[in-house]
Structure 1
Amino acid sequence: MARTKTSLGAGARLSDFLSASLLARVFPADLVNRVLDAHGCNSQRIRSFPAVAGVYYCMALNLYPEAAYEEVFAVVAQGLAWAEGKPSSTTVHKSSVSELRRKIGATPLRDLMHRACLPLARPQAHPDAFFAGCRVVAIDGSNFDIPDEVDNVAQFGYPGSRTGQAGYPQAQCAVLVECATHAILDANIGPYRAPEWELCLPLLASLKPGMLCLADRGFRGHAQWCAARASGADLLWRCASNQILPVLQPLADGSWLSALYPNDRARRRGVDGVPVRIIEYTLPQHSGSTASYRLMTSLLDPESAPALSLAALYHERWQVESVFDELKTHLLRQRRVFRSKTPELVRQEFYGWVLAHYAVRWLMHQAASEYRQSHHALSFTAHVQLVRRTQPQSGAFPPSAA
């Protein structure tokens, strides 16, 4: 398609002409500029590779995991070349890319995630995303390989293996996910051996009243429960079968009201207990055995939240595992190890990874909403491929067409 040379208005940024790309539709250039300004790392003059394009570049790295830095830049630079009226993209050396990445760091991308990665489902259009009027979300953790560099090892550490040490150091992450849409609403990264709750604790800031948070057995203590409930969200967490939760009041649906105490002494004295409701059930397994589940919830009314419905709902927590599969298998593909050789750039790459995933899920949400389909009926891989095909044409249309 022929492109008409367009003059720039006074003070226009070259990167503003990326606005028709998917990434800039989800994360508008003016928002990216405000985030960069807030952290004092925006470009002070027009450059061939300004900082705002560097942020898009950090996301695009995760859309093209097997491509070299310069090749990924060539995709992002299509919009820059068009903005300058040039027939071909500007060439930027790998050292310039690395220098800009170091200048930006990880914090602006994390801030952008907090500002832009918002829940997607709407009650009228996506009733499967809600239960008893609450948006269903889940929290969980995972780990991934990072380059075997001295600083990365010092910051993140190695996992153990049968031979004593794994081949690569690993980072651990935690995510908060909207179950129906797989949209990542918040994420955190830390050392491999960091306690999982320590990584999840910052995510509680993104829990809101009107949410119902699902979690596995790692989060069952009194302090953890109270910290999560302080967000205003309701909780449905699995707890250990040997955790002492006395039957204070049996309910007609087979569940019972109980209390969660900070320690045994408080339980014996009956003080400082938090009211909870307990649901127990078993599921058959393929081997003929059964798996026992015990759930603890803040939804105390069996009329509005029947035990059977909550038992069925809890297994939506596995949508988080699907999100990790999308991140690791479909975005990273054959490149199972991050690229970045320093801890700060590992963190930056991680948040770029999360932002790229959100952009793909945003696109899928638009399709699901327009054609009234379930999000689960759409292919994440197909939409990743669509983004990869269309991203190079990001500069083919003026910003007003976005």
Structure 2
Amino acid sequence: MGLILRTFPPHLVDAVVASCGRTEHRQRLLPSRTTVYFVLAICLFTQESYARVAELLADGSLWAGAEHAAGRPPTTAAISRARARLGPEPLAGLFAEVTRSSLARTASGDRYGRWRVVSADAAAVAVPESEENRSCYGLRPAVVPAQGRSSNSPRGALPRVHVLALGDRSSLAVRHAVLERPPDHSSGFLARELCAVLGPGDLLLAGDEFDDPVALAAACASGADLLWQTSSRAPLHTHAVLPDGSRICELAGSPCTVRVIGAGTSIASLATTVLDAQAAPASELVGLHRHRWRLLTSLASSGTLSPGRPQVLRSRWPDGVEQELWGHFLIHHILCGLRHLTGS
């Protein structure tokens, strides 16, 4: 818990809370700052109950300054009300604040030629079934244990929230993320939000999340170059075949001329806005794309939302889902930083 306090000191948390308009105007049992730390704690101790996490924090310093009766930790009901008052914005703002400088820094392992290499990847995270979550996210197939389903849901189905994130392979860190909130939940919408932090000199590696006209337009408008997986069904008009076997093409739905790598007949191809085969040979781009950063691998490396666990998020309402996801990304940020410092 000391690491949480050092990474997100009270003055930083207070400033972000204030910028989101969540500063209290009267004394509360659980002030916003304390609630932020509690959300981080439940994302760190994912297998513990609210009550147990509160007990763990009571042994530390995170309850300092809160007016609890007889010094006892808050009840589960009090914590739930405090989380609802706080909302997701302070956690999202805190993540944006701590990742802003790290996104600007470029590690040598994330360079290819003249480009800074970043990767985009998507994941779907199961959330508890509730009327609010069903209404927002719908029911989607998910492999969950029987005790995780209610009698009202189709077998193996839970609401799931989609996340599109930006990261780099050398640190495994999540540099930027956007969360699905229907009805604005198309891959193109998420990609447009993600591309806001990209610019000239970036090379974005992506899967088929960017095989979408809106997503491609957003990437091209950012000034960044793109290397992504494209469907073999997309009509191609070839202008030239280059010495490395790649082709200069017009790709249906793409706002710009692209270079296609691969047969494109029975398997998915790669497409890129990098047209210079000497600066970026096809074989090198294939290897670069194959070993790109992946979101679930990154999360699993620190045990955060590990895909192998039969768990879902705790929150039964969409604002809580978003709040908790930002909390997991913040804990992941701490653990990636710690791994970098220790060299592991």
TM-score computed with the length of structure 1 as normaliser: 0.72
In structure 2, how many angstroms separate the alpha carbons of the residues matched to 1:161 and 1:108? 29
Which protein has the larger Cα radius of gyration, Structure 1 or Structure 2? 1
Q: Are residue 189 (structure 1) and residue 179 (structure 2) matched?
A: yes
Closer, same or farther in 2 for the Cα pair 1:82/1:198, shift >3 Å?
A: closer
Distance 1:24 1:234, change over 3 A: farther
Q: 1:229 aligns with which of 220, 234, 240?
A: 220
Distance 1:83 1:109, change over 3 A: closer
> Residue in 2 aligned with 1:309?
284
Q: Tell me the CA shift for residue 301 of structure 1.
A: 1.6
Question: 1:349 deviation in Å?
Answer: 0.9
Q: CA deviation at 1:180?
A: 2.2
Q: Is the 8 A contact 2:164 2:177 kept in 1?
A: yes
Aligned 1:100-111 pairs, distance under 5 A: 100-111=82-93
Q: State the match for 1:244 in structure 2.
A: 235
Which of the numbers 133, 136, 151 marks the counterpart of 2:132? 151
CA contact (8 A) 1:277 1:300 kept: yes
Task: Give the one of 16, 30, 33 matched to 2:14.
Answer: 33
C-alpha change, 1:345 and 1:57, in structure 2 (3 Å) is: same
State which of 247, 250, 254 in structure 2 corresponds to 1:259.
Answer: 250
Question: What residue is the counterpart of 1:343 in the other structure?
Answer: 318
Which ranges of structure 1 fall in alignment gaps of 5 or more residues?
A: 1-17, 264-272, 283-290, 369-377, 379-402
Match of 1:360 in 2: 335
Q: Tell me, yes or no, if the aligned pair for 2:249 and 2:258 is still in contact at 8 Å.
A: yes
Deviations 1:233-275 (A, max 9, x none): 2111111223223222222222232233548xxxxxxxxx612
Please show how residues 315-334 of structure 1 align to structure 2 within 5 Å: 315-317=290-292, 319-326=294-301, 334=309
Residues 1:117 and 2:94 aligned together: no
Query: Judging changes above 3 Å, is the alpha-carbon distance between structure 1 residues 33 and 81 closer, same or farther for their aligned structure 2 residues?
Result: closer
Distance, in Å, in 1 between the alignment partners of 2:64 and 2:34 is 14
2:234–2:251 contact (8 Å) kept in structure 1: no
- Count residues with an aligned counterpart: 329
**Structure 2 CA distance, aligned partners of 1:343 and 1:319?**
25
Note if contact 1:26-1:362 (Cα within 8 Å) is conserved in structure 2.
no
Output the CA distance in 2 between the equivalents of 1:321 and 1:70: 29
How far apart are the structure 2 equivalents of 1:216 and 1:341? 30
- Say whether the 8 Å CA contact 2:302–2:336 is kept in structure 1: no
In the alignment, structure 1 residue 56 sits paired with structure 2 residue 37? yes
CA distance in 2, matches of 1:303, 1:365: 34
Which deviates further from its counterpart, 179-188 or 193-202? 193-202
Query: Which residue is 1:374 aligned to?
Result: none
Q: Larger RCO: Structure 1 or Structure 2 (Cα < 8 Å, ≥ 6 residues apart)?
A: 1
Q: 1:202 aligns with which of 193, 206, 216?
A: 193
Deviations 1:299-349 (CA, angstroms, capped at 9, x unpaired): 222222121111110112353341254477765875612111222111111
Aligned residues of 1:170 and 1:191 also touching (Cα < 8 A): no
* Residues 363/227 of structure 1: CA separation in 2 closer, same or farther (3 Å cut): same
Residue aligned with 1:242, SS: coil
Secondary structure in 2 matching 1:246: strand
CA deviations on 1:174-212 (whole Å, 9 max, x unpaired) are 222222212112222226894333333321222233321
Q: Structure 2 vs 1, CA of residues 334 and 292 (structure 1 numbering), >3 Å: closer, same or farther?
A: closer
